[in-house]
Structure 1
Amino acid sequence: MSLLVLLQAATPVVEMADQAVQATATPDESYLNLVLKGGWILLPIFLLSLLAIYVIINKWLVINRLGKKDSVWLSRVVELIHEGKIDKALKFSVERSHASAKVIAAGLKEFEMEDNEIQEAMEVEARQQISMLENQMNWLGITASIAPMLGFLGTIFGVIKIFYDIARTNDLAIDTISTGLYQKMICSGAGLLVGVVAYSGYYLLNGRIDKVVINIDKESNEVLKAIRAYKKRGVQA
């Protein structure tokens, strides 16, 4: 009997505790809702992320097209030059779309000129091809620098607002402060993430561009040597 009385007396207490737990419990938030709490500063960071992704994909495709290595084509061009079939070598080069072929075609067009003029024509075309390879790369550098700064700026604005509200309301509740801080730290996290992506893409693409430039220099030198050898043989004959 006494056990039943104790249970009846404890029931209201258990119900009150259960209501308190339900009141303090917060439902799990989705990542999207969490990110959206970062504020308006996330809009320019998001736009910079789209810009970085576009530039990385676009430059990757351009480098694949212009930086293609074709040893069979190069051997054939050198062979045609040794045989004196310059028109065929030029046509064979013009039909190719990669950067080395365009540089060599520029040199073959000046075949009747002096060696230094042929080399100069190749260098001019090489600079144009390198400019096409490096085009838009500055946008990645700008994104890598600005995105983290925007993120920190959003966090600073959030912290200023938190302390302003504290000074205005004289409310030092820890949940208010911590909630505001974690929401504003989202800006810093988003900015750093976009900056890391842009920074990584910038150096990865620059590494590939350097390899293409080295390949252009190597293949144009081989063709220039073949031209000089053919002209020297013709003079001796």
Structure 2
Amino acid sequence: MTLLTLLQDTVTSVTDTATHIAQTTAAPKQEDLRFGDLLVKGGWVMVPIGILAVLGLVIFFERYFTIRKASRNESQLMSQVRDNIHRGNLDSAMAICKNSNTPLGRMLQKGLLRIGRPIKDIEGAIENVGKIEVSKLEKNIGIIGIVAGIAPMFGFLGTIAGVIKIFYDISKTDNISMGVISGGLYVKMVTSAAGLFVGIVAYVCYHILNMMVDKVILKLETDAIEFIDLLEEPSK
């Protein structure tokens, strides 16, 4: 009797183990959350957000290298211009400025063309050229600021549109289970995350470029003052 009971317990244990293994094997494997799939599920709003991201990056790198080129050290140019002015060789000084093809070179060239006129006229001419050069450096930077402002708005728009669709589907199917609501909502919130990410990156890029431009402006103003002082030396 004891042996029979022992056999029954063994059979029951083996059966339970086999059943557990079968259930574990048959259980569907949970899908991994892939970044690319989330972007696709974000819907049509991801298209303008992606366009804004590409536009912002293209403008940033184009402006970054342009401003960086304009901010290079021009101490050699100033030294050559100073030497030629001291020797009275204005034509050579203007040729050097023209060949430099830099904002400072164009400012100094305009100042050299005004030599013989009052200092105030020379200062005004240099200042006007400086304003033009700064406006060239700031070209399209404002677009990055616009991207930083409207990208999050597109993200929120996508989320709101997704929530409206979820509740519309609930009103039609009368299915208000948490799985239906949360499953659709987390996908639609991807647009908010994407919009905020693009907006933050654009905001940082916008201020980086503005700081670079401010640095160039300060350098141009310093060199312009040095040039004016150089022109006033013979009259002292």
What TM-score does the superposition give when structure 2 sets the normalisation length? 0.91
Could you say which residue in structure 2 is the equivalent of 1:2? 8
- Aligned counterparts of 1:12 and 1:54: Cα–Cα separation in 2: 60
Q: In the alignment, is residue 58 of structure 1 matched against residue 68 of structure 2?
A: no
Q: In the alignment, is residue 192 of structure 1 matched against residue 219 of structure 2?
A: no
Could you say which residue in structure 1 is the equivalent of 2:31? 27
Structure 1 counterpart of 2:115, which letter?
A: F
Superposed, which structure 2 residues align to 1:141-220 within 5 Å? 141-220=145-224
Gaps in structure 2 of 5+ consecutive residues: 1-6
- RMSD of aligned residue pairs (Cα, Å): 1.8
- Aligned counterparts of 2:79 and 2:150: Cα–Cα separation in 1: 47
Provide, for residues 163-202 of structure 1, a one-character-per-residue CA deviation record: whole Å limited to 9, x for no partner: 1112221212222111111101100010011101110000
Provide, for residues 68-121 of structure 1, a one-character-per-residue CA deviation record: whole Å limited to 9, x for no partner: 222122122123223322222111111112211111111111112221221121
- Aligned counterparts of 2:86 and 2:103: Cα–Cα separation in 1: 22
- Aligned counterparts of 1:73 and 1:15: Cα–Cα separation in 2: 81
Contact 1:100–1:215 under 8 Å retained in 2: no
- Aligned counterparts of 2:100 and 2:57: Cα–Cα separation in 1: 29
Shift in Å at residue 157 of structure 1?
Answer: 0.6
Contact 1:34–1:183 under 8 Å retained in 2: yes
Shift in Å at residue 12 of structure 1?
Answer: 7.0
- Aligned counterparts of 1:174 and 1:69: Cα–Cα separation in 2: 63
Contact 1:104–1:122 under 8 Å retained in 2: yes
The sequence identity of aligned pairs, in percent, is: 33
Contact 1:66–1:97 under 8 Å retained in 2: no
Contact 1:67–1:99 under 8 Å retained in 2: no
Could you say which residue in structure 2 is the equivalent of 1:112? 116
Q: What SS does the corresponding residue of 2:148 show, helix, strand or coil?
A: helix
- Aligned counterparts of 2:57 and 2:83: Cα–Cα separation in 1: 43
What TM-score does the superposition give when structure 1 sets the normalisation length? 0.90
- Aligned counterparts of 2:15 and 2:70: Cα–Cα separation in 1: 83
Count of aligned residue pairs for this structure pair: 230
Superposed, which structure 2 residues align to 1:80-159 within 5 Å? 80-159=84-163
Gaps in structure 1 of 5+ consecutive residues: none
Structure 1 counterpart of 2:12, which letter?
A: L
Q: What SS does the corresponding residue of 1:159 show, helix, strand or coil?
A: helix
- Aligned counterparts of 1:160 and 1:100: Cα–Cα separation in 2: 57
Contact 1:148–1:192 under 8 Å retained in 2: yes
